[in-house]
Structure 1
Amino acid sequence: MKKTLLAALGASMLLGAPAFAADYVIDNKGAHASIHFKVNHLGYSFVVGRFNEFAGEFAFDAKAPEAAKVKVLVDTRSLDSNHAERDKHLKSADFINADKFPEAVFESTKISAAADGKLKVEGNFTLNGVTKPLTIDAVMVGEGSDPWGGYRAGFTGSTQFALKDYGINYDLGPASTHVELQLVIEGIRK
């Protein structure tokens, strides 16, 4: 699946990106990127987990952050909440239907930069066969040369969405209607 994700990315990413923006590939090989989720469980606790397999690219220039672009492909079958039976249920048609929809995709449509360095990354998010607009609140962590002769840029981000917006109607009670995503993205310049 990882090869499929990377091939799809290579074929479709960042067409039309500005010439002055640097292109980066997300460093998931070195585990310098992560996608975590958190859902309230019945109003008593939280279920937390992550997606172990994903790939992506972004174009970014700190002098023109509004020209940035990002696309991330997530293998929904890689959902991992550290509990095999729960994972099986979360991957089922009751939730993300990973067998039928093995890929979730986020692709930016607009980036807005605030004076304090924060970014609003607006885009389209597809999950469970449903595509809806989604905004990620992001912050640039930093950029610069790495010890191996490369150049890196890193960001954190967070967002939340209603499960029902993506066709997930399994009733876990009124406290469990939304999921939060926490993102750590480090890219290596191509």
Structure 2
Amino acid sequence: MKKLLISLAALLLSANAYSATYVIDDDNKGAHAFINFKIKHLGYSWLTGRFNRFSGTFDYEADKLAQSSVEVTIDTSSIDSNHARRDKHLRSDDFLDVDKFPKAKFVSTDIKVINDNKFQIIGDLTLHGVTKQIAIDAHKIGEGKDPWGGYRAGFSGTTEIALKDFAIEKNLGPASTHVILELHVEGIRK
């Protein structure tokens, strides 16, 4: 009996050591997650867009933020800058080369907590066949029960990447060497 109680206690303690898993709300019927980008156009304005198709999960518990993790896969052919001809060019081998590299992926490797709502997500971004470590400055928007009986958590984050770091060599001029990624993620707890 004593062994059974010890085994049950160990099982319960180990179950509490894990974070809850959330699925990113990317459903086409009511998506509440966005991966947006912007890059300067000639240094005079911003060209903005987004990726329409992506999926992912994150593991998170509010009191164990440093133990959280994120994994997201992006369909690079879903790039959308609100201009069909430009999108065709962005999908070409001048930029994303979506025929050769149809997916981009981010996998976190570390979470650095700044305070209860601010943190930095360090991880590997694979884009255009190149994997580089990036840092996402993130903050928690909120969490709680939804009207449908589920539980949700939402976060936002930004990062800046250099095109050349991902072997995208197209010269867009000195003002357009970096892309800012803006991430707005809402997850539904499994």
How far off is 1:42 after superposition?
1.4
Summarize deviations over 1:58-77 as a string: whole Å, max 9, x none: 00011010000100000000
Matched with 2:23 is 25
2:121 matched to which residue of 1? 121
Q: String of CA shifts for 1:71-98, please: whole Å, max 9, x gaps.
A: 0000000000000000010111101111
Aligned counterparts of 2:137 and 2:111: Cα–Cα separation in 1: 10
- Say whether 1:174 aligns with 2:174: yes
CA contact (8 A) 1:18 1:67 kept: no
Deviations 1:138-158 (A, max 9, x none): 001011000000000000000
How is 1:104-183 mapped onto 2 (pairs within 5 angstroms)? Answer: 104-115=104-115, 117-183=117-183
Residue matched to 1:63: 63
Unaligned runs of 5+ in 1: 1-16
Structure 2: 5+ residue stretches without partners: 1-14
| Alignment correspondent of 1:42 | 42
> 1:83 is matched by which residue type in structure 2?
H
Give 1:103 shift.
Answer: 0.2
TM-score (norm 1): 0.89
TM-score w.r.t. structure 2 length? 0.89
**Offset of residue 54 of structure 1:** 0.2
The aligned runs of 1:90-101 (5 Å cut-off) are 90-101=90-101
**1:116 offset after TM fit, Å?**
5.3
Query: Which residue does the alignment assign to 2:6?
Result: none
- Quote the Cα distance in structure 1 between the aligned partners of 2:115 and 2:57: 25
Structure exhibiting the larger radius of gyration computed from Cα positions:
2
Paired-residue identity, %: 58
Structure 2 SS opposite 1:176: coil
* Alpha-carbon spacing, 1:188–1:78, altered in 2? closer, same or farther (3 Å): same
Q: Which amino acid aligns with 1:98?
A: V
Q: What SS does the aligned partner of 1:164 have?
A: helix
Contact kept? 1:106, 1:123, Cα under 8 Å:
yes
Identify the structure with the greater helix proportion: 2
CA distance in 2, matches of 1:122, 1:184: 17
Match of 1:64, SS? helix
Aligned length: 174
Q: In structure 1, what is the Cα distance between the partners aligned to 2:174 and 2:33?
A: 32
Q: How far apart, CA to CA, are the structure 2 residues paired with 1:116 and 1:189? A: 20
Q: Deviations over 1:5-51 (max 9, x none)?
A: xxxxxxxxxxxx98431100000112100000001111122210000
2:45 and 2:135 map into 1 onto residues whose CA distance is 26
TM superposition outliers: structure 1 runs of 4+ over 6 Å:
none
